[in-house]
Chain A
Amino acid sequence: MSIERPSARSLIEKRKPLTELLSECILTEYVLIFIREGSMGSSRTEQKAATRETILRIAERLFGERGLFAVSTADVARVSGISHGALFVHFPRREDLQQEVISRVGYRIAAAVHEAAGSGADLDGILRSHLQAIAREEAFYSRLLAEGPMLGIAARSAVIGVQSAVAHHLIAEQALPVPDGDIWFNAWLGLVHHYILNRDLFAPEGSVVEKYGERLIEYFCGIVSRSGGEK
């Protein structure tokens, strides 16, 4: 009867301590892999990417819970279970971390709108995809709205970039009346953002987007339609 033994590679990937590798009597194989892959370069890169991913996930949650300025890089490091120095390697300043988290959240929102527009959605459908994507990030998004004007240029630009992508599908693809496209887009944002910024008053029990989203879409599409736009 043979006992199944874990391979050296799986142990290396799980970052088992060397003593455990030795106890498995597979040091030779370990050394061979080490030599072949050059100081475990690939797994180290993977490890670095995994740490970065953890930092960003934790930062996004903490920013959403407490605000973008109430959370320090030291807080993020502590909750991520890494040293402040290790976090510094990835994000030297809090603004770098804010900027990256905004870009990631914004990318998800822009991608949802892009996908809806790509599958032929009309104004109603594009607005719905926008709101559904915001609803998935509502805590963070409301903090971003409240604190946006205080952000540095890099983080602020990331916000403008997201809005550009959303506006592209609403204006450039002519779902909104083209003259005054900027005013139409800002009217939509203003409406949605007012509810999100005051979500504690409109929907203290849960998601304000879920509670009011359909009414906002219906109302906005109604004004567009009465002004001679789509629908």
Chain B
Amino acid sequence: MKNCIACGMPMEKAEDFATGDESKEYCRYCARPDGSMQNYPEKLASMSGFIVKTQGLSEEAARLAAREMLSRLPAWKGIAGRN
């Protein structure tokens, strides 16, 4: 089983992958409408927003947590933490 390189989500079924393409390394939630992978600022914003929406944390706490989580994922090694 693959994990999305940009958010860590497990990807099992074709529909979990971006555009339903199982050769992709990232999931449907990390894809832009055109199927390409979101960049770091986009992912940081969407992940922070998701944390706020689902867990109700303050925006600042959510952004800190998201930044920390992204820094451990293959897509953002060396990028995360500078923003």
Task: Name A residues whose Cβ lies closer than 8 Å to a Cβ of B.
Answer: 103, 111, 114, 118, 153-154, 156-158, 160-161, 163-165, 167-168, 171-172, 181-183, 185-186
Whether the Cβ atoms of B54 and A160 lie closer than 8 Å is no
Contact with A along B34-51 (1 / 0, CB 8 A): 000000000000010011
Looking across the interface, which residue of chain B has its beta carbon closest to that of A157? Answer: B68
Interface string of B50-63 (1 = CB under 8 A from A): 11111111000010
Q: Would A182 and B54 be within 8 Å (CB), given that A118-B12, A161-B8, A165-B9 are in contact?
A: yes
| 13 pairs, A vs B, C-beta closer than 8 Å | A114-B9, A153-B68, A156-B65, A157-B65, A157-B69, A160-B57, A164-B51, A164-B55, A165-B9, A168-B50, A181-B53, A182-B55, A182-B56
Which residues of B approach A to under 8 Å, CB–CB? 8-10, 12-13, 47, 50-57, 62, 64-66, 68-69, 72
Nearest opposing residue in chain B for A163, CB measure: B55
Distance A154 CA – B68 CA, assembled complex (angstroms):
6
Q: State the CA gap A58–B46 with chains docked (Å).
A: 36
CA distance A114 to B9 in the complex (A): 9
Q: In chain A, what residue has the closest Cβ to B47?
A: A164
Q: Given the complex, which residues of A lie within 8 Å of B64, measured CB to CB?
A: 153, 157
State A161–B52 Cα separation when bound (angstroms).
Answer: 12
B interface secondary structure, majority: helix
**Once the chains are docked, how many angstroms separate the CA of A163 from the CA of B51?**
9
* A2 and B9 alpha carbons, distance in the complex (Å): 54
Contact A164/B68 with A182-B56, A185-B55 known, Cβ cut-off 8 Å: no
Taking a contact as CB atoms under 8 Å apart, the answer to whether A160 and B12 are in contact is no
